[in-house]
């Protein structure tokens, strides 16, 4: 029987509510489709950090590396600075496992109301560079607390890093019906890294004559997403630009509670990591009302990656059946809780 070893890291906040829901659905699916999952639970979280001083224990990444995929909830706690939790857990995995391609699809699921009138035109995949750029970690802080204090935060764009993400974006755009790839940039103001970013895009484009391209500055992109959503399809953007645009994309498609993501190591030298975009959401933690849809959609992306496209499609249909019937948590204007949405998706399976 086909079997997949999955590392489950619920992490913080509502990660502990949505990841168990996702596991329940994945197990139900596997049973139907004749394969199985072996989930191993990792307690890597802010709780663990406060208790032991580390998010990831000694030798943790080496162990994690042996899994087929990572199913991740969220990281972030009210009493740990955000940069400590992010650099303690999520980034060491993304960067350590060279998960350089972050894929973020958005569309308005059936039954969901978008704040946009022309919302049905939203069918986007944002590809986020996930290993360098503004999240390179390069920089420093000196003379702390003194009037001459200085902090630098350096964006790093390497030919290797830029070329591989553009190539990944062209490959993905080519597989989508419209074959349309939009380059997001800010090379007017940022005249070194972003100019290299643009130049390499057009070098790579030569190998993909069947893919239509255009280029837009990131500020103009926000208005285009709102006013002309149908003019976009596949989008490639730097680490920070795509981080920001993907929250906008999630809100425009109805809620941050439905947006999925995959952190991919396309060469499969390391396991890839699948997570809902929404974060730990401590304002609703423990209330049982977190929207599990982002996690289910994320699980469908994981199934695709594992080579189970039939199960992935079945799960997407079950999610859509459930949204169509408006079995919604409060973020989508509903009265249902995590449990009820999970049961509805399970029934639809
Ligand atoms: C995301 C998140 C993270 C990011 C946070 C949690 C640090 O916003 O995945 O989009 O900025 O990368
Ligand atoms: Mg974000």
Encode the chain (349 residues) as per-residue pLDDT tens digits: 899 999 999 999 999 999 999 999 999 999 999 999 999 999 999 999 999 999 999 999 999 999 999 999 999 999 999 999 999 999 999 999 999 999 999 999 999 999 998 888 899 999 999 999 999 999 999 999 999 999 999 999 999 999 999 999 999 999 999 999 999 999 999 999 999 999 999 999 999 999 999 999 999 999 999 999 999 999 999 999 999 999 999 999 999 999 999 999 999 999 999 999 999 999 999 999 999 999 999 999 999 999 999 999 999 999 999 999 999 999 999 999 999 999 999 999 9
Q: Is residue 107 part of a domain?
A: no
CATH number of the domain bearing residue 62 = 3.40.718.10
Ligand 2 center from residue 36 Cα (angstroms)? 32
Residue 195 belongs to a domain: yes
Query: 265 lies in a domain?
Result: no
Q: Which of 253, 285, 303 is the last residue of a domain?
A: 253
Q: Ligand 1 centre from 349 Cα, in Å?
A: 31
Q: Which of 45, 90, 241 to mutate to test the pocket of ligand 1 (most atoms within 8 A of CB)?
A: 90
Domain boundary among 227, 253, 279: 253
Say if ligand 1 is within 6 A of residue 273 CB. no
Nearest to 207 by CA among 168, 159, 155: 168
Partner residues linked to 267 by β-bridges: none
Do both 305 and 240 map to the same domain? no
Quote the crossing angle between the two packed helices 159-175 and 193-205, to the nearest 10°: 40
Ligand 1 touching residue 86 (CB < 6 A): yes
Same domain? 135 vs 239: yes
Distance CA(165)–CA(100), nearest Å, equals 7
Q: Write out the two tokens for 303.
A: 């199934």
Instruction: Give how far Cα 260 sits from Cα of 122, 212, 299, Å.
Output: 15, 26, 8
Q: Is residue 196 part of a domain?
A: yes
Tell me the CA–centroid distance for residue 248 and ligand 2, in Å: 10
Same domain, 128 and 246: yes
- Give the Cβ contact number of residue 98 at 10 Å: 18
Task: From 194, 219, 253, give the residue that closes a domain.
Answer: 253
What's the confidence (pLDDT) of residue 16? Answer: 98
160 and 238 inside one domain: yes
Q: Which helix (H) or strand (E) holds 171?
A: helix 159-175
Structure tokens at 254: 């109805």
Q: Is the CB of 277 under 6 A from ligand 1?
A: yes
CB 323 within 8 A of CB 282: no
Q: Which atom of ligand 1 is nearest to the CA of 86?
A: 7
CA distances from 18 to 11, 54, 124, 297, 347 (A): 11, 23, 24, 12, 18
Distance CA 13, CA 75 (A): 7
Ligand nearest to the CA of 134: 1
Q: Name the closest ligand to CA 77.
A: 1
| pTM score | 0.96
Q: Which atom of ligand 1 is nearest to the CA of 76?
A: 6
Domain assignment present for residue 261? The answer is no
Q: Is residue 75 domain-shared with residue 200, that is, in the same domain?
A: no
How far, in Å, CA of 229 to CA of 311, rounded? Answer: 30
Asked if residue 7 belongs to a domain, the reply is yes
Residue the block writes with tokens 């390499």: 200
In a domain, 203, yes or no: yes
Are 120 and 242 contained in the same domain? yes
CA of 280 to the centre of ligand 1 (A): 11
Query: Diameter of the chain by CA atoms?
Result: 65
The verdict on residue 215 lying in a domain is yes
Count CA atoms closer than 13 A to 106's CA, side-chain side: 32
Do 120 and 246 share a structural domain?
A: yes
279 lines ligand 1 (CB under 6 A): yes
**Domain limits at 299?**
1-101+270-349
Asked if 82 and 129 sit in the same domain, the reply is no
Q: Which of 2, 5, 131 is nearest to 65 (CA)?
A: 5
Tell me the CA–centroid distance for residue 244 and ligand 2, in Å: 6
Decide whether any atom of ligand 1 lies within 6 Å of the 243 Cβ: yes
Query: Is residue 8 within 8 Å of residue 69, measured between CB atoms?
Result: no
Distance 59 CA to ligand 2 centre (A): 28
Residue nearest to atom 10 of ligand 1 (CA): 243
Q: Do both 137 and 239 map to the same domain? A: yes
Closest Cα to atom 6, ligand 1: which residue? 279
249 and 275, same domain (yes or no): no
CA of 75 to the centre of ligand 1 (A): 9
Terminal C-alpha separation, the chain: 21
Tell me, using a 6 A CB cutoff, whether residue 281 lines ligand 1.
no
Closest Cα partner for 125 from 221, 29, 242, 8?
242
**Cβ(68)–Cβ(213) below 8 Å:** no
Nearest-10 Cα torsion for 285, 43, 345, 274 = 110
Q: How far is the CA of 34 from the centre of ligand 2 (A)?
A: 35
Ligand nearest to the CA of 86: 1
State whether 211 and 336 are in the same domain. Answer: no
Tally of structural domains, the chain: 2
- Same domain (yes/no): 217, 125: yes
């Amino acid at each position: 029987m086909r079997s997949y070893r999955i590392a489950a890291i619920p992490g913080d906040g509502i990660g502990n509510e949505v990841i168990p829901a996702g596991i329940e659905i994945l197990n139900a699916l596997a049973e139907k489709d004749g394969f199985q999952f072996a989930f191993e639970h990792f307690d890597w979280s802010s709780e663990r950090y406060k208790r032991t001083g580390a998010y990831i224990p000694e030798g943790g990444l080496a162990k994690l590396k042996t899994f087929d995929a990572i199913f991740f909830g969220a990281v972030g706690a009210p009493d740990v600075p955000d940069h400590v939790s992010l650099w303690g857990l999520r980034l060491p995995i993304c960067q350590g496992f060279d998960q350089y391609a972050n894929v973020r699809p958005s569309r308005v699921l059936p039954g969901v109301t978008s704040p946009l009138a022309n919302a049905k035109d939203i069918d986007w995949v944002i590809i986020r560079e996930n290993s360098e750029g503004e999240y390179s970690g390069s920089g420093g802080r000196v003379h702390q607390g003194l009037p001459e204090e200085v902090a630098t935060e350096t964006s790093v764009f390497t030919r290797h890093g830029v070329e591989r993400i553009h190539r990944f974006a062209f490959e993905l755009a080519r597989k989508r019906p419209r074959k349309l790839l939009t380059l997001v940039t800010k090379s007017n103001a940022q005249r070194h890294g972003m100019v290299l970013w643009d130049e390499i895009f057009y070098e790579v484009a030569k190998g993909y004559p069947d893919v239509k391209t255009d280029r837009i500055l990131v500020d103009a992109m926000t208005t285009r997403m709102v006013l002309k959503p149908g003019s976009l399809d596949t989008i490639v953007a730097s680490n920070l630009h795509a981080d920001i645009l993907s929250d906008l994309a999630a809100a425009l498609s109805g809620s941050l509670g439905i947006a999925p993501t995959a952190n991919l190591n396309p060469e499969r030298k390391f396991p890839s990591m699948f997570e809902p975009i929404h974060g730990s959401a401590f304002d609703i933690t423990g209330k049982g009302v977190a929207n599990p849809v982002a996690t289910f959609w994320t699980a469908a992306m994981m199934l695709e990656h594992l080579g189970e496209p039939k199960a992935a499609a079945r799960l997407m249909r079950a999610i859509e059946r459930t949204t169509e019937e408006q079995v919604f948590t409060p973020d989508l204007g509903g009265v249902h809780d995590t449990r009820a949405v999970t049961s509805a998706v399970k029934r639809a399976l």
